[in-house]
Amino acid sequence: MPTLDPAWQAWLAENIQRGCSVDSMVAAMEGGGFRRADALAAIETALNPVAEAAPQADYRYDAMPIPADNRIDVGDREVQVLLRCEQPQLVVFADFLSLEECDEMMRRSHDKLVRSTTVNPQTGQEDVIARRTSQGTFFARGEDEFITRLERRAARLMQWPVENGEGLQVLRYEVGGEYRPHFDYFPPTQAGSALHLARGGQRVATLIIYLNDVAGGGETIFPDVGLSVTPRKGGAVYFRYCNGEGQLDPLSLHGGAPVVDGEKWIMTKWVRQGRYG
């Protein structure tokens, strides 16, 4: 297989991170002059996080920033802790958002949702992917009072500064929609990561907030530890994968299982080592 140049490596990393389907990436790579077999092999290599993660098998778990209480005061409400896991560091919450706040986020996102696309590095154009897995939209940090309130709450829960957070992202999955297992951190060995790391440093933790109850499927899965979190409206799952030394936790591999019935709406907050933006 020919080696991928840094532009294609960055392109693959970006599109895998965004949950694009293998079919759409193969099609784009064929359009860019790759043979089908070479495209598939390159995608397979990029998707194989086990090899990527191996050097970090000695990940050291330092103290979790989330308070040790069963109910956590986040300023304007109290959040319940339902489950804690030490390795990977993970906490499941109920009542992070009120039901009305979930509805408000879905209402605000509905008209802004756009189909996932892949950026074609040859043409620079956005190609719509054939097998859509989700639709999404972003909210700029501090966009308005409502968003600011939710960001302050997330920062208080995660014990991480608002300034280190990326903007909130809302995703909607329909039946069959999924997010293949991946890491939220930027793989240090991939060329495309440098661009991301230059702004705010590495991602250190994720808070996935469930905006609706899902009729079937759609769990957030951690395949290496056999854990799955069932979406529950207003609830959330936090997980941390970058410690104070900058090591990355291979056990944080996670994905969104296919939705079997109904829709799944989530909101994601990713936080960085340093100030972002």
CB-neighbour burial class of residue 169 (10 A; exposed 0-12, middle 13-18, buried 19+):
middle
Nearer Cβ to ligand PD2 (67/255): 255
Under rule CB under 6 A, residue 220 binds ligand PD2: yes
Binding partner selected for residue 268 from ligand PD2, Zn ion, none, CB under the kind-specific 5 to 8 Å limit: ligand PD2
**Other beta carbons less than 10 A from residue 57's beta carbon:** 9
* Residue 236 identity (one-letter amino acid): A
Nearer to ligand PD2, 22 or 41 (CB): 22
Residues 85 and 238 sit within 8 Å (Cβ to Cβ):
no
Backbone angles phi, psi at 99, to 5 degrees: -60, -35
212 binds ligand PD2 (CB under 6 A): no
Binding to ligand PD2 by residue 32, rule CB under 6 A? no
**The residue count for the chain:** 277
The option from Zn ion, ligand PD2, none interacting with 220 (CB < 5 to 8 A, set by class) reads: ligand PD2
Does 184 interact with Zn ion (rule: CB under 5 A)?
A: yes
Is residue 105 involved in binding ligand PD2 (CB under 6 A)?
A: no
126-159: b or e for each residue (b if 16 or more CB lie within 10 Å)?
ebebeebbbbbbebebeeeeebeebbebbbbbbe
Closest CB to Zn ion among residues 151, 184: 184
- Residue ranges in contact with ligand PD2 by CB under 6 A: 179, 184, 206, 208, 220, 254-256, 266, 268
- Residue ranges in contact with Zn ion by CB under 5 A: 184
